[in-house]
Every structure is written in structure tokens, then in C-alpha cells.
């Protein structure tokens, strides 16, 4: 039996991330104090959500399901309003709870709905994708997208707990799993460099959800995020380093109207940030190539069409990380040592993009 692992995340109220396999029987103990429970899930996981509902009913909870669109289509204010409507009709009170059951977009949405209903009710996260397990479900960032950009509307609101059950990855498409793995790689580049070494030593086992190495990598990535969140919950400094690759990545997602997987866009964003650091004399060419080697070995993209640059630059200027139109990028001084680069010139940004243009 896989060892059960627990990581405490410091926030307004500390909570635990429980990591292992076949853990769904622990959900009732995470909902203590609630009478009613809303499970927010993608329609593609309806069967699994219904099974979870039935187990909670057996544990004497009054359970309602909210089936919503999958992926970024879920992160719309209209979908949040749909969930609010269910909560109102079901007479949810401040002591009742919400469960986010799905990928990163679903956990973002569920957290946002919980944060805004009655000015904040409790919720737990049960992530079912790699991206959600190591990133979206942890840290208390919740939000929805608008036509102008990603995550521009949101609230900080921490869950009561996060249940990372690797068995839920069994039905996940391979390309979805690999895309989410980009966030694991990110944690290696900004903090725990052993993550990179473990991946390089065995690419196949590293991305096999049934392996102990996969469990180790997921645990390490979660630990990186937990440490950063505990030190900087509201992203006033250190937490910004978790955005490595995300400035260009979010611009790509917007350009693609959110049809691209987040991890694929962030993969390109990390190589772009590495090239930016190299051009500023911060990062060696060897380290830039290491980015390309690891990401391409995982099957992730590292380039983007050259003619898209004007649109990407415009998209980056409205990103929430910008300050008064001045762009900010997380770059590396060396692998494992991130910092903020303030207001790089359009010329150097263009030059860096040419290194990843196809």
C-alpha cells in the first residue's frame, strides 16, 4: 500500500494536503460540521461525482451536484452564477461546505463560489489532474476569467483541506497529464532542483502515475508551493516566483481563446523566460538548453508562431502581474534561484521571442 503523505499549508487557517492512493473514503472526515454539501464537478466526471455523492449520503450528508463545463469554459461568471443559484435554492448556510472535484479550472471555480457565497463558506478540494494537484488546488487563489484576460476576477480563500488521490488520474488522457506536469518542472526550476534530476534520470517512470517516483515528484512539487504560500499568502513578494513561465503562458492562452492546455502554454513561457534571462546575462546557454531538453523530452511545446508576437505583447500588458502597463517577469539568476525582472524593453522582449519563434 502506498505511504500516506501529509503536507501542512500555512494560510489564514493552516490546512493539510493529504497525498496517496484510494483516499476518497476520507472525504466525510474533511466535511465535519457541515450538513449540506455541493459538489462542483465537470460533466465529464459525472459518474465519479455521483459515486462520491452516494458515499456522502451514506455518511448522512445532504448532497447536491453542480455539473459544469470542463476546462477554462468553467471559469466564467455565468457558471459561478449557476452555482450560486443552486446554493440559494438549496438554502446553503455558512456552516455548509463545497467540494471542488475536478481539474484546475474546476477547483478555481469551486473556491471562487465558496469565497463569494455568504461572504465565504468552507470548501475542500479533490483535484483530479496533475495541474490541479500540484498547483491550482493549493494556496487559496480562486477566480474566473473574463474576455480581457485570465484570472482577472478572484479572491484569496483557502480550503479546509486538499485530498490528492493519485488513483483519480487513471482516466486522465496522456496529453492532459503531461501538460499538467509542466507545473512540476516549474517547481524544479524555481526551487527544488532535485525534481529536475529525478525527471532526467527516468522520463518514463517520472510520468507514470502508478510509480513511486511519480508520487515523490508530486509530493515535492506540492511542498514547494506549500512553503511559498506559507511565507507569502497574498502574493506580495515570494509567491510571485510561482508565476515562472506564466506571463507569456497566460498571453498564449488568451490568444488561443483558452483552447490550449495551461501547461503547454507555460512550457513555452518558461523557455521564453529562460531566453530573457540569458540575454540579460543571468542564465547560461546550458541552462536554457536544459529547459528545452526536459520539456521536449516530456512532449511539451517550446516554440510558438512568429507572427503572433504583437498580439502576445498586447495580452501581456493587461496581465494581472503587470504594474501600470510595465511588464514583470520571473526569471532565473541560475537554476533554483528566481527573481523578478522589472520593465524589460520591447526590444529585448522581441529578441527573446525570436529564440522561441517557429
Tens digits of per-residue pLDDT, 6-47? Answer: 999 988 889 999 999 999 999 999 999 999 999 999 999 999
- Would you identify the CATH topology of the domain 5-169? Rossmann fold (3.40.50)
Domain 174-354 sits in CATH 1.20.1090.10:
yes
Cell of 204: 518514463
Instruction: For residues 110-139, give the mean pLDDT.
Output: 96
Cell of 308: 503572433
* Contact assessment for residue 326 and residue 332, using Cβ atoms and an 8 Å cutoff: no
User: For 279, what's the count of Cα atoms within 13 Å in the CB-facing half-sphere?
Assistant: 18
Average model confidence (pLDDT) across the chain: 94
DSSP conformation class of 45: G
Quote the pLDDT of residue 2: 60
**22 labelled catalytic:** no
pLDDT reading at 322 higher than 70: no
**151 labelled catalytic:** no
pLDDT reading at 1 higher than 50: no
DSSP conformation class of 322: -
pTM: 0.92
**Residues sharing a CB contact under 8 Å with residue 321, sequence separation 6 or more, in sequence order:** 240, 243, 246, 247, 327, 328
Quote the pLDDT of residue 282: 93
Residue in this structure with the C-alpha cell 493539510, named with its chain if needed = 16
DSSP conformation class of 190: H
Annotated active-site residue in 41, 225, 278, 328: 225
pLDDT band for position 152 (50/70/90)?
confident
**235 labelled catalytic:** yes
Fold: same for 5-169 and 174-354: no
**225 labelled catalytic:** yes
User: For 325, what's the count of Cα atoms within 13 Å in the CB-facing half-sphere?
Assistant: 2
Cell of 102: 475536478
Cell of 251: 498571453
Quote the pLDDT of residue 358: 86
Annotated active-site residue in 160, 186, 246, 292: 246
In the chain, the percentage of residues whose pLDDT exceeds 70 is 97
Domain positions in the chain are 5-169, 174-354
Residues 331 and 328: their CA atoms lie apart, in Å, by: 9
Question: Which of 84-93, 109-118, 227-236, 338-347 shows the lowest per-residue confidence on average (mean pLDDT)?
Answer: 227-236
The alpha-helical segments, DSSP class H, found in the chain are 27-30, 46-58, 77-89, 104-116, 130-131, 174-190, 194-201, 203-206, 212-231, 246-255, 262-279, 285-297, 309-317, 346-354
Annotated active-site residue in 75, 76, 250, 261: 250
Residues 306 and 91: their CA atoms lie apart, in Å, by: 52
pLDDT reading at 311 higher than 50: yes
**239 labelled catalytic:** yes
Q: Which residue has better confidence, 270 or 70?
A: 270
Annotated active-site residue in 262, 291, 292, 328: 262
pLDDT reading at 297 higher than 80: yes
Question: Which of 22-26, 150-154, 273-277, 339-343 shows the lowest per-residue confidence on average (mean pLDDT)?
Answer: 150-154
Amino acid at each position: 500500500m502506498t505511504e500516506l503523505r501529509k503536507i501542512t499549508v500555512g494560510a489564514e487557517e493552516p490546512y493539510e494536503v493529504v497525498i496517496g492512493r484510494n483516499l476518497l473514503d476520507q472525504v466525510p472526515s474533511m466535511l465535519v460540521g457541515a450538513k449540506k454539501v455541493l459538489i462542483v464537478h465537470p460533466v465529464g466526471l459525472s459518474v465519479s461525482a455521483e459515486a462520491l455523492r452516494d458515499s456522502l449520503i451514506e455518511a448522512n450528508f445532504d448532497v447536491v451536484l453542480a455539473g459544469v463545463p470542463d476546462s477554462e469554459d468553467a471559469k466564467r461568471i455565468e457558471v459561478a452564477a449557476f452555482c450560486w443559484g443552486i446554493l440559494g435554492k438549496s438554502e446553503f448556510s455558512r456552516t455548509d461546505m463545497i467540494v471542488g472535484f475536478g481539474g484546475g479550472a474546476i477547483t478555481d471555480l469551486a473556491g471562487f463560489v465558496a469565497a463569494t457565497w455568504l461572504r465565504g463558506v468552507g470548501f475542500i478540494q479533490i483535484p483530479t489532474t496533475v495541474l490541479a494537484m500540484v498547483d491550482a488546488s493549493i494556496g487559496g487563489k480562486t477566480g474566473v476569467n473574463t474576455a480581457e484576460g485570465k484570472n482577472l476576477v478572484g479572491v484569496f480563500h483557502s480550503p479546509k483541506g486538499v485530498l490528492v488521490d493519485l488513483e483519480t488520474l487513471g482516466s486522465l488522457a496522456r496529453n492532459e497529464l503531461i501538460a499538467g506536469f509542466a507545473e512540476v518542472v516549474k517547481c524544479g526550476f524555481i526551487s527544488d532542483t532535485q525534481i529536475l534530476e529525478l525527471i532526467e534520470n527516468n522520463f518514463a517512470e517520472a510520468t507514470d502515475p502508478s510509480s513511486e517516483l511519480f508520487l515523490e515528484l508530486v509530493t515535492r512539487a506540492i511542498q514547494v508551493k506549500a512553503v511559498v504560500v506559507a511565507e507569502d499568502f497574498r502574493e506580495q513578494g515570494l509567491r510571485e516566483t510561482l508565476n515562472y513561465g506564466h506571463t507569456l503562458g497566460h498571453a498564449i492562452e488568451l490568444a488561443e481563446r483558452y483552447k490550449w492546455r495551461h501547461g503547454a502554454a507555460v512550457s513555452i513561457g518558461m523557455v521564453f523566460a529562460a531566453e530573457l534571462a540569458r540575454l540579460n546575462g543571468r542564465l547560461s546557454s546550458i541552462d536554457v538548453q536544459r529547459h528545452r531538453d526536459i520539456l521536449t523530452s516530456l512532449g511539451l511545446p517550446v516554440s510558438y508562431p512568429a507572427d503572433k508576437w504583437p498580439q502576445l505583447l498586447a495580452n501581456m500588458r493587461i496581465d494581472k502581474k503587470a504594474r501600470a502597463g510595465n511588464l514583470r517577469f520571473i526569471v532565473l539568476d541560475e537554476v533554483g534561484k528566481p527573481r523578478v525582472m522589472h520593465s524589460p524593453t520591447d526590444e529585448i522582449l522581441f529578441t527573446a521571442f525570436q529564440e522561441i519563434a517557429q
